[in-house]
Amino acid sequence: MTIYFWIIKVLATTVGETAADFLSATLNLGLGITSDIMSGVLLVALLNQFKLKRYVPASFWFVVVLISIVGTLITDRLVDELGVSLMTTTVIFSVSLLVVFALWYSNEKTLAMHSINTAKRELFFYWVAVLFTFALGTATGDLLAEALKVGYAQSALIFGASIAIIATGYYYFRMNAVLAFWLAYILTRPLGASIGDLLSQSATNGGFGFGTVGTSMLFLSIIASLVIYLSLKQKKPALLPIDGQD
């Protein structure tokens, strides 16, 4: 996983938070209609993703952004419409994610990213696990920042510091690579959510007041720029030997 992967991942999680709020609240579509629309778009994007035989940055990251939005909406609907507490949703999605990992490992004997090379592994394990990480991250981020009143900025610092500790464990203390990856992957969701809320929420709510539209467009522009760069880099032909020399 390159630095570009983690940058886009955090940006995508931020967009998931702000875009979900924009569609459901700012445009007054409501959580139900927004969930139905975005779930349909996600399904189409996933079908396209499954047809590909290799990593295509534009398709892959489009799915990640969409699944981030859908994961956010799942948590928001449980909390806002069904009255499930953030603590309960955090526990539910934690257990659900552990179950997915257990089934994944029992079937494939590994949770490594490089082993995701079949439709079964991608559909039934990887993307399901990713969906639960986004839903869990939304619940955890809101629980810390709002329910426990820690605040968006402080929450972002806490999650950022947690990721830094994991990175230190991996690079300097031989922490298991797969464990380090998934822990960091899970934590980037509440980190991105806290950053998104910090930028978009009004000053009275502890944010910078940039709004969901401005924040979403800014981060989507950065994601698009990085995806275009990665796509061009991927298509760059390899240099051929000159005059028989390597």
**Tens-digit pLDDT profile for the chain (246 aa)?**
688 889 999 888 888 878 888 888 888 888 999 999 999 999 999 988 888 877 788 899 999 999 999 998 999 999 999 999 999 999 999 999 999 999 999 988 888 877 777 767 777 788 999 999 999 988 998 899 888 989 888 999 999 999 999 999 999 998 999 999 999 999 998 898 888 888 888 777 777 888 888 888 888 899 999 999 888 887 654 443 434 443
Tell me the residue range of the domain where 37 lies: 3-232
The answer to the question of residue 240 being in a domain is no
For residue 62, is it within any domain? yes
- Give the distance, in angstroms, between the CA of residue 163 and the centroid of all CA atoms in the same chain: 14
Q: Does a structural domain hold residue 238? A: no
- Quick check: is 97 in a domain? yes
The whole-number pLDDT of residue 107 equals 86
Does residue 54 sit within a domain?
yes
Please give the tally of structural domains in the chain. 1
Domain membership flag for residue 241:
no
The neighbouring-strand residues paired with 242 are: 245
Give the pLDDT confidence score for residue 236 in this predicted structure.
55
Instruction: Report the SS3 class of residue 208.
Output: coil
**Residue ranges in the chain assigned as alpha helix (H):** 3-21, 30-51, 57-80, 86-108, 119-120, 128-142, 152-173, 177-200, 211-235
Question: Can you give the pTM of this predicted structure?
Answer: 0.84
Q: What is the pLDDT of residue 239?
A: 41
Answer whether residue 55 is part of any domain: yes
Q: Kindly state the tokens that stand for 241.
A: 């030997």
| Buried/exposed 223-233: b ≥16 CB within 10 Å, e otherwise | beebbeebeee
Instruction: Kindly state whether residue 246 falls inside one of the protein's structural domains.
Output: no
